[in-house]
A and B are shown apart, each in its own frame.
Chain A
Amino acid sequence: MNASVLHLMLPEIVLTVAALGVMLWDLWLPAGKKSPLGWASIAICIALFALTFLPEVAKGGTGLAGCFTVDPLALFFKRAFCVTGFLVFLISREYVDDLPQGQGEFYTLSLLALLGMFLCSSVADFMSLFVSLEVVTVSFFVLAAFRRERTTSVEAGLKLLVIGSLSAGILLYGIAFVYGAVGSVSFADIRHYVATGHIEPELLMGAVLIFLGLGFKTSAVPLHVWVPDVYQGSPTPVTAYLSVGSKLAGFVLVVRCLTVFAPPGGELSSELTAFFALVAALTLVYGNLGAIPQTNIKRLMGYSSIAQCGYILIGIAAASASQFEGNTSGLSGALFYMAAYVVTNLAAFAVVLIVAKATGSHEIDDYAGLARRSPMLGASLACALLSLAGVPPFIGFFGKFMLLGSSFDLAHPELLWVGAIGFVTVVIALYYYLLVVKRIYVFEPRSPEPLAVTGRMKVVLVLAVAALIFGGIAPGFLVRSATEVVDQLALAAAR
């Protein structure tokens, strides 16, 4: 092991040390005075974000016998994870500070999950992929069941666990098949093998099983079944974290695997395109239809999360179809959308947390008159939901525009039908988001007393909404970064 690997892995190392440090510091802090842990976690996220810009890290490279790689894709996602962690820890404080115990463990596990995500974005072989992914998954098993005194939380943990293990089995089986076909678990080897024109059924089956297994994280059909239940049952900060961090960890691996299985010249991609198209369509339809009759905001966000995954999968399908050549706006759109999704979803969950803290309810009906009780909360949630619905001038609009747009590329007409389904579901999505917006603005509040918002949360909300609008009006910067990532990927994949 040489120094350059240590440089490359600096964020991960720092994160590991920090997580362990938080765990140990917890032992010294007296009960009821654990809030420094939260501040520490927030600080760590900021530090990590800064670290990703360190020239040694940012210039990229590979290490650890080719198992660990830092490239623009990894950096893009690492930064997204930092933002995720930052926001999640910030809004978690509303919740975690009130926990009777276990704050230290909560932050430690969250940080370790973050470490898992960091690793996921940098892995370069399936062995590391599997283990890193399991770090994220297992952490979330625990986090979901964290309120072990509540049946809903434990039930969420159990459901996440069973489906998670099942999907791990599916993923493993897929990896096994790929390994069986290629004889290696290294991404580079497999990419080379695929690019040289091998399209055996076992390879295809392996690839498909891998993507299906990853679908558990991204909440794609058919391994999406846990999503609504777990979102509803988990502690709200965990739901927020799960909805963004876990999903993005899944997607970074999907993108990574796409470079492996659909490199330029590879002939697997037409099958994979069909696969992604089908899954995207099913996911879109399922998520959007299921969200209509929901009465619980967290459950609604669960279905919405499935639906959002469907939109991103359209972009992935387009990327698979274009094989990193020509118009790659599908993949850059997917990356853009994921980044947008972080801010949007967490803004929504911030409001959910505050409202739950004040009213103790997650029922949508209890959001009646929210804009009257607290104009700021109402406006923030409405903006976030409308952004998710893809309404200008919010950032979600541009993301959806790119994703849906990519499916209409005349170069791959086989995706047109998915695009059409996407269009239909946009309307459905607008419907159920507007149902919430309606309660916020149109309905009269059940109890007139205003909702208090702490200064910290005000800052979070203002920042998030500002980001939503700014990103929607001036998406150029983010698109440029996403496009750069995709260009680098294309270069790497072509090599």
Chain B
Amino acid sequence: MNKVKIAIFDLTDCEGCELQFIALREKLLKRGNDFEITNWRLANEINSNGPFDVTFIEGSPIAETDIETLKQARKMSKIIITLGACADLGGMQSALLEKKRERDLLEVYGPKYKTNSLPPKPVSYYVDVDLHLPGCPVNEEELERLLSSLFIGKKFSPKNHSVCLDCKVAGNPCLFLDEGFCLGPVTRGGCKAPCPANGIRCFGCFGPIEAANLPALKSAGEKHNSVENIDNTLSLFFSKQDVYKEYKISQKKGKNVS
């Protein structure tokens, strides 16, 4: 059997997700006969230009070279998998308003600076994506589940339940109740709820669950939080998602009415 040729490309991001491959090292070594990583800038000295069977894309396309890499990778790969929230959702960096990007750049780099980059987007904005592995960072067990599915040719799909299932099963006290807010109820699970387990509320890094009811989240959270804070937290990972855009529109409409 031919080895599955895997490539891992990082665009602009923190490079935390790809480290999860290193975290799986001993387990992956046992499958050395099934796959080889033929392009991984972070870990390989020499890297192939393709073709690849499976390509992981980490990070959000921002720099010109990111978009080049992405398009070329799509051409050379059978399957494209987004690895983590930056690739999947555009990452936190995409929470900044696009129309204010120029001003933001000016504030940080001064007037003489010229940029070659574009506002951050999810990878799917530029190329077709076959599978998504959500999370910031991706969860080790979910990555393992994805890889083992890949090796036997089973389609991987992220979990469909909310973070609250993971959270309840872990026996954590509910922060929505104790502290008045948490994104767990509208966020895709599979992460095993590490944030609530460590006393911080869910920030939504796995992206919204199917049919996330954001207006309901707002009305439940409003009792103890300003709508502004709720919006801020939501925008971190959801900003490029349709449910969020719809929610923002409904918010605006609501304001106009009242």
Q: Are chains A and B native binding partners rather than an unrelated pairing? A: no
